[in-house]
Amino acid sequence: MARTKSYYDLRDALKEPGCPMCRVRKAALERYMDGLIYEKVNDAGLRKAVRESRGFCERHAWDLVRHGAALGVAIMLRDTVREIRSVAQSGRYRPPGSWSMTRLQETVDRGQPRSATARLVAALGPQGSCPACDHEAEIDHAVASSFVENLYGPDGLLQAYRLSDGFCLPHFRQVLTRIANETDFQAILDVQQEHWQKLETELSELIRKSDYRFADEQVGPEAISWLRAIASLAGESYQPKQRAFWRERPPATSPKD
């Protein structure tokens, strides 16, 4: 079987701390966002997709903030601002009749969205998915498939997976969707269980050493297990403030230091 770029990206990422799929996805997203800003800003299809999605989702919108991005972002998002202004301009307030069932329901339930503005609310919402989210989904699919297809043989990924930090829960679920036989299922599940067992043990050790009775014991890798737990359950954000914070395992020190 010919090895794809996804295979080589994942193979390298398995040697690094944290979820390897999160790492591959973030690197791919960085390249994608750079391409949008510096190379594809005048692409008609892209501009249309950005208008329809009403810009980018919150997470990816802030990924646009980078050196030299001002012009490209301004060009793309001016389209979106114009679009929502046009949609809002055509909006109409459409109150229900005085004795309608809708008016009665709105009177009883003050938290219910008002039908008078429902059409404009819907029109101002995304009419398509975030382009960056779509790209991430494509990357996740390709990497998960590549992992399952290259478990064994020369340079197989199963052993590298065992030596890694394992997948975060969202990416492990995606990997499970690509498994086609019980042998692969059991092999992958067993390794992931080993990673979770190690994390659980470190969390328990952190909790134990937080007890005043053990305050004199040195703190080791378990000191940042709570951060690894966040990343393991939710996926890694790779935001600037978190990029290197929890990855570097501090030397063993006393809790009093």
How many degrees, rounded to 5, is the angle at CA 193 between CA 14 and CA 233? 70
Residue 165 lies in a domain: no
Residue 151 lies in a domain: no
Q: What is the pTM of this model?
A: 0.79
Domain that holds residue 39: 5-131
> pLDDT tens for residues 159-198?
999 999 999 999 999 999 999 999 999 999 999 999 999 9
Residue 75 lies in a domain: yes
State the total domains in the chain: 1
Closest to 148 measured CA to CA, from 111, 140, 64: 140
> pLDDT tens for residues 75-129?
999 999 999 999 999 888 877 665 555 555 555 556 656 677 888 889 999 999 9
Residue 111 lies in a domain: yes
Return the sign of the alpha-carbon dihedral for residues 75, 81, 85, 91. Answer: positive
Residue 110 lies in a domain: yes
> pLDDT tens for residues 189-213?
999 999 999 999 999 999 988 877 8
Partnered with residue 219 across adjacent β-strands are 253
Residue 126 lies in a domain: yes
Residue 157 lies in a domain: no
Residue 99 lies in a domain: yes
255 — pLDDT class (breaks 50, 70, 90): very low
